A and B are shown apart, each in its own frame.
Chain A
Amino acid sequence: DTVMTQSPESLAVSLGERATINCKSSQSVLHTFNNQNYLAWYQQKPGQPPKLLIYWASTRESGVPDRISGSGSGTDFTLTISSLQAEDVAVYFCQQYYSTPITFGPGTKVEVK
């Protein structure tokens, strides 16, 4: 199984400042046949299901603000919130969908400093 790790476990950022979350997979999730990284990011707020933010490592889901972006390739990925807003307070998970079983990172909690 592909193990997903995230860092940090939590971070506190001032409103308007940048938040950066890292995700690492134990195996490459880059598929050579289509040159796509099978890596997604989800946002989860308390009492709510996860919400898909980013797929193919860097493609925003419809409706996701452009202050949220994803980058990376192979085994190392980053989610960046360029200017933290109050509504971004949540837990963020990465997920590989390269192969079954799909696996998730343990999550990073983002709070306002």
Chain B
Amino acid sequence: EVHLVQSGAEVKKPGTTVKISCKVSGYTFIDSSLYWVKQAPGRGLEWMGLVDPEKGETIYAEKFQGRVTITADTSTDTTYMTLSSLRPEDTAVYYCATESLARLLDSWGQGTLVTVSS
């Protein structure tokens, strides 16, 4: 069974950087791309970007380009999402997810709440 376990909640000040981890198990890490999705309070789901763990290649949503970095560590089967220059509107739950078919997200982490407040 596929499991994605994310790091714990974070409280950050505006202008700083947050790094969230997502450790996966239950499948071969390099076989599927890993995605990161943002969900602001009471809002919908917003794709941020993805990483292909085998190639190390990334694709980022235009909205987050320049502020987000997604990496994959094949030695620990862990993906990381770093978001910089944090602002209050970045307050959200961030999810990692893996795909079964191209771009279809069938397994999700439990989510990590990031609160940005001065």
Contact = CB atoms under 8 A, between A and B. Distances in A.
Interface of A: 38, 40, 42, 49-52, 55, 61, 93, 95, 97-107
Interface string B24-46: 00000000000100000000111
Given A49-B95, A49-B108, A102 B103 contact: yes
Given A49-B110, A49-B111, A50-B108, A103 B102 contact: no
Given A49-B95, A104-B44, A106-B44, A97 B104 contact: yes
Interface size grouping (class) on chain B: 20 to 34
B101 A100 contact: no
A98 to B, nearest CB: 8
Contacts of B108: 49-51
17 contacts: A38-B104, A52-B106, A55-B101, A55-B104, A55-B106, A93-B44, A97-B101, A97-B103, A97-B105, A100-B59, A101-B61, A102-B35, A102-B103, A102-B105, A103-B47, A104-B45, A104-B46
A97 B95 contact: no
A107 B39 CA distance: 12
Contacts of B103: 38, 97-100, 102
A76 B91 CA distance: 33
B104 A40 contact: yes
Contact of A107 (B44, B50, B110): B44
Given A40-B104, A52-B104, A100-B59, 7 more contacts: A42-B45, A50-B105, A55-B101, A97-B102, A97-B103, A102-B35, A102-B103
